[in-house]
């Protein structure tokens, strides 16, 4: 698996008469974790769908690893939607094996590929559990491992923790920080949580209300610090959070 860049130029997209994205320019470097925040309905999820090759833009270009073709974007991007979409009749381990199984890997070989990730990320004791036996946070961990096991150089994460309570969400942010540090990929994380974006990402872009354009870019000083509490209470972090919130407020007008 090689690293991949994402290059977006002059991107515009609409649903009928509803203009969602307008002349958007964005570049994500190889192995960078980019956060995207913006008002509800501004087109954040649409941006991920276009990057993933699930749709083609009305105008402008989206290129992954230099290739603009929709099939190439589909081949290089693994997309994690808001809902975990785990299959209830499969174990956690077999849910993560779906992508390699669809690629023709045998069940035994797929399980052998997945098991080390369960061990590494503290899920070994839940490998044989069914989804209904897992907490919300555990289900999201399994869904993330399933995204990793797709073996794609680009991960597109669409508000992966939106449905979790505040305490579990904080724990999952810390867990994901460790996972992203251990498994270098090019990542785009869409979230409505400014603190989450600033903690997890190397760079954060703030979008305006639709049709969305980039309002500002912010660069956290020490993304994915193992001590989340210390990171989010640091003076420089809180100042950056206020700047992001101010930009969000301005962009929502």
pLDDT, one tens digit per residue, over 139-189 is 988 998 999 888 899 999 999 888 788 888 898 899 899 988 988 889 999
- Predicted local confidence at residue 2, as pLDDT: 62
**Is the pLDDT assigned to residue 52 strictly greater than 60?**
yes
Q: How confident is the model at residue 251 (pLDDT cuts 50, 70, 90)?
A: low
**Is the pLDDT assigned to residue 1 strictly greater than 60?**
no
Contacts of 131 (CB under 8 A, 6+ apart): 84, 86, 87, 88, 90, 92, 95, 139, 142
**Angle of the 136-149 helix axis to the 107-120 helix axis, nearest 10:** 120
pLDDT, one tens digit per residue, over 11-44 is 999 988 899 998 999 999 999 999 999 988 888 9
**Angle of the 166-182 helix axis to the 136-149 helix axis, nearest 10:** 20
- The Cα–Cα gap between 1 and 73 comes to 15
User: Residue 98: CA atoms inside 13 Å, Cβ hemisphere, count?
Assistant: 18
- Our CA angle for 35, 40, 44, nearest 5°, is 40
Domains of the chain: 6-251 (3.40.50.300)
């Amino acid at each position: 698996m090689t690293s991949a860049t994402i290059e977006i130029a002059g991107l515009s997209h609409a649903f009928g008469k509803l203009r969602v994205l307008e002349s958007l320019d964005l570049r994500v470097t190889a192995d960078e974790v980019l956060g995207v925040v913006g008002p509800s309905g501004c087109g954040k999820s649409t941006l991920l769908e276009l990057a993933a090759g699930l749709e083609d833009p009305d105008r402008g270009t989206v290129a992954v690893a230099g290739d603009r073709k929709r099939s190439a974007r589909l081949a290089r991007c693994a997309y994690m939607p808001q809902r975990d979409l785990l299959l209830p009749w499969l174990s956690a381990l077999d849910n993560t094996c779906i992508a390699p199984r669809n690629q023709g890997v045998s069940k035994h070989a797929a399980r052998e590929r997945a098991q080390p990730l369960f061990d590494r990320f503290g899920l070994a004791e839940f490998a044989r559990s069914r989804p209904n036996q897992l907490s919300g946070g555990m289900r999201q961990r399994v869904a993330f491992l399933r995204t990793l096991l797709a073996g794609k150089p680009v991960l597109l994460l669409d508000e992966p923790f939106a449905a979790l309570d505040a305490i579990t969400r904080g724990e999952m942010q810390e867990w994901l920080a460790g996972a992203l540090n251990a498994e270098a990929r090019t990542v785009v994380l869409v979230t409505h949580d400014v603190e989450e974006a600033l903690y997890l990402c190397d760079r954060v872009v703030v979008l305006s209300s639709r049709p969305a354009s980039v309002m500002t870019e912010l660069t956290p000083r020490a993304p994915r610090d193992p001590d989340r509490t210390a990171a989010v209470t640091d003076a420089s972090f809180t100042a950056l959070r206020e700047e992001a919130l101010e930009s969000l407020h301005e962009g929502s007008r």
